[in-house]
Each structure stands twice: as structure tokens, then as C-alpha cells.
Amino acid sequence: METDSLERTAHLPQITEARNPGMELDMNWVRSVQANTSAIERRAATLPGRRSVKKAYQAAWLARAITCIDLTTLSGDDTARRVERLCAKARQPVRADLLAALGLDPITVGAVCVYHDMIAPAVAALEGSGIPVAAVSTGFPAGLSPFHLRLAEIGESVAAGAAEIDIVISRRHVLEGNWQALYDEMRAFRAACGPAHVKAILATGELGTLRNVARASLVCMMAGADFIKTSTGKESVNATLPVSLVMIRAIRAYHEATGYRVGYKPAGGISKAKDALVYLSLMKEELGDRWLRPDLFRFGASSLLGDIERQLEHHVTGAYSAGYRHAMG
């Protein structure tokens, strides 16, 4: 795998990308999409052992991974103070002494993701940082609240200052093969988001088959999704490499057909630095370097950051530190 040198900064400047406007639902294209499960699983099984990066190269890749994290708290006992502490971590995700030893300028995470009620304290805590606030919406995580309330929830979150909205699709539309209903729902969500970017959560662990994952990915992109995302993090099965391969190749096919780039967000179950390296290498091999920036790739994770920090300290000192040295807030 071609690697970057350890740059002065891993927080790359944002690139202005033409937003995916969507297109008319093309049922011929949707019905033509298939998924060879055994071939996909074989390819995915080779990924962890096929590529490795070491020493300064690994540190550079891990620093890049940090810039692509959606630092998240989605707990029933969230408080404004907890969110403020999380936002402080988002502003400075790695200790200053480690960054200095690595020769890196300050970096930040990709976004902070919260429930609607926590948008205001997050926006206030992140003022001037350039870090967007993302809000989960549309009856997260089940997505089974009345449709007009799901639309209203999006509007309320955008008005409160959320720059990104993570919506959940109605899984029943996929399981019943009602692609028109899924398309119409996603179009309505996109319209309700207005200028805010929309991430479509497919809840892939509940869609039954990889073919369903591929078709749902394509339909959501046709309806104007800016990102497609694996999971809410609340399902029994969240991000996996086979699912990621299917969704990434759907993104590639959509880009080849339309010229528009759609982002990808694996979420849930990614907690180790070595896993982040596998996902980054998968994105590079399947989609190219352009998808290694936070406007097109995010990790839906928080515990991942602590393990990356530990790996960076090991690179600097040669020893692994205790987890409490890299607290989330």
C-alpha cells in the first residue's frame, strides 16, 4: 500500500466537493444489482493480512484516522457538561506533547455527533473550531416514529445548528423490496435537511442479505444522500468488512455513472487502531486517496480514539500507556 510520509499536519484542508443532487429512481439499475456473498466474504477475509504500515508511516495513517472520527455520545444520561468535555476532546484529540514529538501540527476530529437536545451545548463548545455538529434524527435508532415527526425532528436539529444529520431509513422498505417507498422517504429527508448534509444509516445488520445492502445503498444515493452509513451502533451486528466492501463498491459505481462522490461511514464495533488501518486501506484500494479525507469518510466511533492515542504514544516512547492517560474528557 502506498503510504504518506509523516506530514507536518494530518488535518488536511477541506476540499469543496459538488454535493450529490440525486437522480430519478432507476429501477432497472436497482434490480440489476447482485451480490456474490461467498466472493465478497473471501475478499473481505484477506483484507486484514494483505497490507501493513509500520513506524512513521503507521503514525501518519493513524493521525489521518483521527481526523475522520465522528466523536460520539448517544447515551440516555448525556448532559451538557459531558458534551462540553467531549467537544474539548474533539478540539484536541491527541496530547500536545505527542503531536510535538511526532512533528504534527494540531489536528481535530471530523465531527461531534449527539442527540438533538445536546446540539446547543455542542455548538457553543465548538464555536470557532470549524468542527461540525452532527445530530442523529428521524426516530433514531429504530426510525419508527410518525413520518411527519421524523421530518419535523430534522428541521428542529438543523435550526438548532446541526450541520450534518444522521437519519435512519425504514428497514421494512428494504425487506419488502419497496424501493420506491425508500427513495421517496430519503428524498423527503434530504429536502428537510436543506443545507445540512445527510448521512443515511442503513442498519445493515437488519437488512437480511448483502444484495439488500447493495440495493439500499444505491437507492439512498439516487435520492440524494451525502453519506451512506452502516449502522446506528445499536444493532447486534454493526460495521463489518463484507458490508463495507458492498457499500464502497456501490459508491464507486454511482460515482462512475454520475460523477458525484458520496461519503462512507462505518459505525459500531470499530474500537482498535489496527481496525482503522484496515478500513483506511480498503477505502484507498477501492476508491482512491480522495476518499481518505473527512468530507468523504468518517468512523462512527469514540473508543477508537483512545486506542489510536495509545498507539501513537507507543510510537513516540516505545511503551504502551494506561488508558487513563488518554481520557475522553
The angle at the Cα of 82, spanning 114 to 309, to the nearest 5 degrees, equals 85
C-alpha cell at 170: 425504514
CB atoms within 10 A of CB 204: 31
Please give the distance of CA 101 from its chain centroid, rounded to a whole number.
29
Give the active site residue among 70, 89, 166, 307. 166
Determine contact, residues 179/141, Cβ cutoff 8 Å: no
Q: Which residues contact 220 (CB under 8 A, 6 or more apart)?
A: 169, 182, 186, 200, 202, 228
- Between CA 162 and CA 285 the distance in angstroms is 32
- Half-sphere exposure (CA, 13 Å, Cβ side) for 48? 10
Among this protein's residues, is 166 annotated catalytic? Answer: yes
Look at strands 111-114 and 69-72 and give their pairing: parallel
Give 54-111 as a DSSP string: -HHHHHHHHHHHHHTEEEE---TT--HHHHHHHHHHHHS-S-HHHHHHHT------SE
Please give the distance of CA 310 from its chain centroid, rounded to a whole number.
22
- Between CA 265 and CA 262 the distance in angstroms is 10
Specify the 3-state DSSP secondary structure of 267.
strand
Give the active site residue among 265, 275, 284, 307. 265
CB burial string 115-135: b at 16+ within 10 A, e below: bbebbebbbebbeeeebbbbb
Among this protein's residues, is 70 annotated catalytic? Answer: no
How many residues can be counted in the chain?
Answer: 329
Phi, psi of 86, deg, nearest 5: -65, -40
Among this protein's residues, is 117 annotated catalytic? Answer: no
Active site residues: 166, 229, 265
